[in-house]
Structure 1
Amino acid sequence: MSSSVLERSLAILLGAVSRFLLALLSLFQSFRPRNFRPVPPAVRPLLLLSGVELARRIRRRQVKCVDVIQAYISRIKDVNPIVNALVAERFSAALKEAQQVDNRLAEGSEDEKSLEESVPYLGVPFTVKEAFALEGLPNSSGLVSRKNVIALTDAAVVTNLRKAGAIPLGVTNCSELCMWYESSNNLYGITRNPYNVDRIVGGSSGGEGCIIAAAGSVMGVGSDIGGSIRMPAFYNGIFGHKPTTGLIPNDGQFPNATGLRAEFLCTGPMCRYAEDLIPMFKIMAGPNVSKVKLDEEVFIKKVKFYSMEHDGGSPFLSKVDNELIHAQRRLIAYLEVQFGVQVQQVQIHKMKYAFQIWSAMMFTEGTDGKEPESFKELMRDCGKEVKPLWELAKKILGLSAYTLPAIGLGIVEDLAKVNHRRNAKLMSMCQNLQAEFSSLLGDDGVFLYPSHPKIAPRHHHPKLMPFNFAYTAIFNVLELPATQCPLGLSKEGLPLGIQLVANHHNDHLCLGVARHLESAFGGWRNPGAP
């Protein structure tokens, strides 16, 4: 029997088992009592402004920075017991820094224009994924063995944002070692969706997406090697951008990528308002911002749009929810009616192999001939050797310190290294797919594609449909910029969204389209609001 036939047979078997287990899990959850309080809507006016607008009002002395920071601290204290998004805070330090901003402005020695140029986010609060170093706060990435690790310095992007005047409030939850799409670990617990606390927030930047969506933060820092910015942004109804590879520094996060994986890991902005995407990008990227055309205006009529509603039928992935397909079609109808553009439906056949391509590329040695640091090595973190199969046995007995997804990835990693011949074929397929996208998109094209096949699933369901992250992951190994853009709410009040993908170094296109769609489709919706 050929390997392709075996692969398809395995996929069909896994799919059948997953559907059966999902049915059992859904039945169990339907009888579980709901004890969670709903997340109250944000009502304080200061919580409903973009970072750009907050900075403007602070510079003009229209609001006190202390009042802004206190409003966000109060909001976090209201919602965090419900959603468990922020895992460590620096509220006292943030208030002192806010007072310093107010004192600086009271001196009156700097005019508004000079302040805007030198510190464009003066006094604006932000949060940081716990995987990034924020001086004085934990930097464990949810790994129990790192529970006492405290950052001694700031990560590069945190430094850049602080130099721009922004004030960090704390760090947010992520999945263990940032390699799973539900933010839950044995150190901080599980993070819950502000639109429905029985639903996931995504991962690995899930705590970040959650606290921003819950109006506990204006904006935040995320990282993405398989969709870890875009999936949480999608599930939480906010904006998130994975930039072209290499534009924003990854320094100062754990785990960082090595070897070929360093080309796939991207740090990027997450925010409630599209107005903040480009200013955040500029600040986070530093000198590298000159490599992209962020100041170039985007005219929708001049953009060529291409659309795909699903991956083409991979047996490993779930079917796309009908509401997501309808949302994408509404978007297409809007573009065609309002702007007279013709959205071209395309079928890119290699997309059905997205998961296999991503896996092969992730476990491939770098240009230096060295294999990437294994997940097992990250799990051990300078401690004893980790044996995933042994940890699985311990997990069944409730004795393992690791989460099931982390153990599973350690097992999959060993299997992925076995078939070198197959991996070489998939690497070649990745190169061909990259060339196909580059030819299709050119310098004026935007590709419309689901951010994920499922609207925010219930907690733990991702374990039974583990490969769905391929909808975002494929663009990491293709090194293309992609923006998650919210498109309203589903019938159950859960966020809908779409990925906007452009060619290399054409980040301005997907960011510009996202900003336009915010005004057309409403952008972020206040959770808990009637």
Structure 2
Amino acid sequence: MALSRLEKAQTWLWKAVMGLLYGLFRLLSPRSPAVSRRLPAVSNPLLAVSAMQLAQKIRRREVSSVEVVQAYIDRIQEVNPLINAMVKDRFAAALQEAAQVDKLIEEETGGEEVLEDRLPLLGVPLSVKESFALQGMPNSTGVISRRGVLATVDAPPVALLKRAGAIPLGVTNTSELCMWSESHNHLYGITNNPYDLERIPGGSSGGEGSILAAAGSVIGIGSDIGGSIRMPCFFNGIFGHKTTPGVVSNENQYPPSSGRHEDYLSAGPMCRYAEDLLPMLSIMAGPNAHMLSLSTKVDLKKLRFFSIPHDGGSRFTSPVNKQLLQIQRKVVERLEADLGVKVQEVHLPGLRYSFQIWDTYMTLPDKEGKPPQAFVELMGEPGRPVWPLWELLKWMMGRSEHTMAAIGLALVEMSHASKPVPFFIQQNEKLRKEVEELLGTDGVLLYPTHPNMAPKHHHPLFRPFDFAYTGILNILGLPVTQCPLGLSEEGLPMGVQVVAGKLQDRLPLAVAVYLEKAFGGWRDPGAK
């Protein structure tokens, strides 16, 4: 009974605070004119080819790297004024690097196979989330006080992709300090969803999701501590993979990991074509790639499949949209019809506490007892921590350098109890054991990514906890591939999370290739 009262009190408090903030936001924010323009359709055929196929064409001299890079530059210049996804480009440097690639291929005497083995992404364009260090490019994560910060090195996964021959075109927008489901900050502005410019592309890797879906990039890199790869991929109808934690390096990202965040944060690939996921991950994992056995072939008919339609009715999350429930059922039906497998529907009661578990574990100290860095400190760097209530007053007068989402998160941080609630620790341990026993080394789980398709701008302020569908899988430490499943009645992307046991990343990656063939994969937002 005490727990029930505590839950009700917490629910009321969260909803009251966020409802008030949302009301203030709607009242005080300037009204933006209605956006009616849509993206132009993809016209250059080079933009409709996977990264692996582009690399092959470049190696075979069927097309030059300069032609490919220029095609993507042209596309970015065409769509970025509408979506505001790429916040800083390096087009001139990219074209120079592409010319060097073409010269290298012209002079190569070892043959195509040598180039493929040594430089599998040679000449292929790449976009990078701005929170990753890309040498010479901004690394502010949308914080105005960091506007002059330039990266002096490459983050390890970025360096590995460049070493494999990929050519960065620029960096893409994020939510402020990467801790919100909408990519909006006062340094770069707000990013739009290519399928509906009045809707969000997700966060925090929303700029990546938007530029990829708009065919302004073919492959990209994102990070995920609560759904920051999967939500943007879901809202933008592309593929993305949250890697098993500890495989891909998280060094040289901002903000840096603290507390236990390293256990839950994963860097991973984002792309339009499923066949690019596995080779990208193999490259990004570097010396840890052997941990995933990615070269081992997967026979989908020998896997055990499970489906969970919703979280069991958490007070913190919205009901799952009927169209998303229907498309997940269609996936089940196709798997059973095509592969001859039986997909078992299961229910895990602990999922209804997904948000509370995520919130609890994100505040736990590391092994040395050091707590995670306070959000108010990150907001104020390189100066003193901000005062959330003062920032709220400044925001009401239009004087704050921070978004309402960041201010709201700082206010919520103030309400955290000094000690975690033991009940949620117990629920997580129970849920972890149940999931590990369920999936083993050959199980695959289908689970909704989010209760709804891409919301309209600023609406997540009113339903801030719907990310729990992705966040719980970070705490459980599981690999997840986000897969697009066509468009809704409103023309918005739909999709599903495909989950496997720890270090079994190759299983959901193989399912992604199957689902792309079965449901069509990425759709050109300009061709709706």
Higher deviation after alignment, 408-417 or 225-234: 408-417
Does structure 2 conserve the Cα–Cα contact (< 8 Å) formed by 1:278 and 1:511? yes
The equivalent residue for 1:117 is 117
In structure 1, give the amino acid aligned to 2:212: I
Higher deviation after alignment, 15-24 or 196-205: 15-24
The equivalent residue for 2:405 is 405
In structure 2, give the amino acid aligned to 1:382: P
Does structure 2 conserve the Cα–Cα contact (< 8 Å) formed by 1:39 and 1:194? yes
Does structure 2 conserve the Cα–Cα contact (< 8 Å) formed by 1:298 and 1:513? no
Q: Secondary structure at the match of 2:433?
A: helix
The equivalent residue for 1:175 is 175
Structure 1 residue 136, shift from structure 2 partner: 1.2
The equivalent residue for 1:389 is 389
In structure 2, give the amino acid aligned to 1:395: W
Measured in 2, the distance between the counterparts of 1:421 and 1:218 equals 42
Measured in 2, the distance between the counterparts of 1:382 and 1:28 equals 29
Structure 1 residue 425, shift from structure 2 partner: 2.8
The equivalent residue for 1:342 is 342
Q: 1:132-158 deviations in whole A, cap 9, x for unaligned?
A: 111111110000100011111111111
Measured in 2, the distance between the counterparts of 1:493 and 1:462 equals 20
The equivalent residue for 1:476 is 474
The equivalent residue for 2:128 is 128
Does structure 2 conserve the Cα–Cα contact (< 8 Å) formed by 1:278 and 1:294? yes
Q: 1:415-462 deviations in whole A, cap 9, x for unaligned?
A: 2233x251x332232122111110000111011000111110000000
Structure 1 residue 108, shift from structure 2 partner: 3.5
The equivalent residue for 1:438 is 436
Measured in 2, the distance between the counterparts of 1:492 and 1:22 equals 25
Higher deviation after alignment, 335-344 or 487-496: 335-344
The equivalent residue for 2:305 is 305
Name the count of aligned residue pairs: 527
The equivalent residue for 1:239 is 239
Does structure 2 conserve the Cα–Cα contact (< 8 Å) formed by 1:360 and 1:416? no
Q: Are residue 327 (structure 1) and residue 327 (structure 2) matched?
A: yes
Q: 1:27 to 1:185 in 2, by over 3 A?
A: closer
Measured in 2, the distance between the counterparts of 1:156 and 1:14 equals 38
The equivalent residue for 2:104 is 104
In structure 2, give the amino acid aligned to 1:8: K
Q: 1:26 to 1:327 in 2, by over 3 A?
A: farther
Q: 1:475 to 1:370 in 2, by over 3 A?
A: same
Measured in 2, the distance between the counterparts of 1:487 and 1:141 equals 30
Q: 1:384-426 deviations in whole A, cap 9, x for unaligned?
A: 22111221222122221111111111122222233x251x332
Residue from 501, 504, 518 that aligns with 1:520: 518
The equivalent residue for 1:68 is 68
The equivalent residue for 2:365 is 365
Measured in 2, the distance between the counterparts of 1:138 and 1:158 equals 14
Structure 1 unaligned blocks of 5 or more: none
In structure 2, give the amino acid aligned to 1:515: V
The equivalent residue for 1:504 is 502
Structure 1 stretches (4+) deviating beyond 6 angstroms? 16-29
Measured in 2, the distance between the counterparts of 1:172 and 1:80 equals 11
Q: Are residue 287 (structure 1) and residue 299 (structure 2) matched?
A: no
Structure 2 unaligned blocks of 5 or more: none
The equivalent residue for 2:192 is 192
Does structure 1 conserve the Cα–Cα contact (< 8 Å) formed by 2:439 and 2:500? yes
Measured in 2, the distance between the counterparts of 1:275 and 1:148 equals 37
In structure 2, give the amino acid aligned to 1:142: G
Structure 1 residue 62, shift from structure 2 partner: 0.6
Structure 1 residue 28, shift from structure 2 partner: 13
Measured in 2, the distance between the counterparts of 1:176 and 1:32 equals 20
The equivalent residue for 2:50 is 50
Q: 1:225 to 1:62 in 2, by over 3 A?
A: same
Q: Secondary structure at the match of 2:285?
A: helix
The equivalent residue for 1:449 is 447
The 5 Å alignment of 1:126-275 reads 126-275=126-275
Q: 1:346-386 deviations in whole A, cap 9, x for unaligned?
A: 11000000000000000001111111111111111130221
Measured in 2, the distance between the counterparts of 1:17 and 1:255 equals 26
Calculate the aligned-residue CA RMSD, in Å: 2.1
Measured in 1, the distance between the counterparts of 2:328 and 2:20 equals 29
Q: Secondary structure at the match of 1:416?
A: coil
In structure 2, give the amino acid aligned to 1:222: G
Q: 1:83 to 1:32 in 2, by over 3 A?
A: closer
Q: Secondary structure at the match of 2:486?
A: strand
Does structure 1 conserve the Cα–Cα contact (< 8 Å) formed by 2:259 and 2:363? no
Does structure 2 conserve the Cα–Cα contact (< 8 Å) formed by 1:15 and 1:315? no
Q: 1:256 to 1:24 in 2, by over 3 A?
A: closer
Q: 1:496 to 1:421 in 2, by over 3 A?
A: closer
Q: Secondary structure at the match of 2:309?
A: coil
In structure 2, give the amino acid aligned to 1:46: L
Does structure 1 conserve the Cα–Cα contact (< 8 Å) formed by 2:35 and 2:197? no
Percent identity over the alignment is 53
Measured in 2, the distance between the counterparts of 1:174 and 1:160 equals 22
Q: 1:409 to 1:16 in 2, by over 3 A?
A: closer
Does structure 2 conserve the Cα–Cα contact (< 8 Å) formed by 1:69 and 1:95? yes
Measured in 2, the distance between the counterparts of 1:141 and 1:320 equals 31
Q: Secondary structure at the match of 2:485?
A: strand
The equivalent residue for 1:493 is 491
Q: 1:35 to 1:442 in 2, by over 3 A?
A: closer
Measured in 2, the distance between the counterparts of 1:251 and 1:349 equals 35
In structure 2, give the amino acid aligned to 1:493: G
Q: 1:287 to 1:383 in 2, by over 3 A?
A: same
Structure 1 residue 11, shift from structure 2 partner: 2.4
Measured in 2, the distance between the counterparts of 1:385 and 1:58 equals 50
TM-score by length of 1: 0.96
Measured in 2, the distance between the counterparts of 1:263 and 1:189 equals 31
Does structure 2 conserve the Cα–Cα contact (< 8 Å) formed by 1:303 and 1:444? yes
Higher deviation after alignment, 244-253 or 379-388: 379-388
Does structure 2 conserve the Cα–Cα contact (< 8 Å) formed by 1:12 and 1:315? no
Does structure 1 conserve the Cα–Cα contact (< 8 Å) formed by 2:25 and 2:404? no
Structure 1 residue 258, shift from structure 2 partner: 1.6
Structure 1 residue 128, shift from structure 2 partner: 0.2
Measured in 1, the distance between the counterparts of 2:142 and 2:12 equals 33
The equivalent residue for 1:77 is 77
Does structure 2 conserve the Cα–Cα contact (< 8 Å) formed by 1:480 and 1:504? yes
Q: Secondary structure at the match of 1:458?
A: coil
In structure 2, give the amino acid aligned to 1:492: E
Structure 1 residue 464, shift from structure 2 partner: 0.3
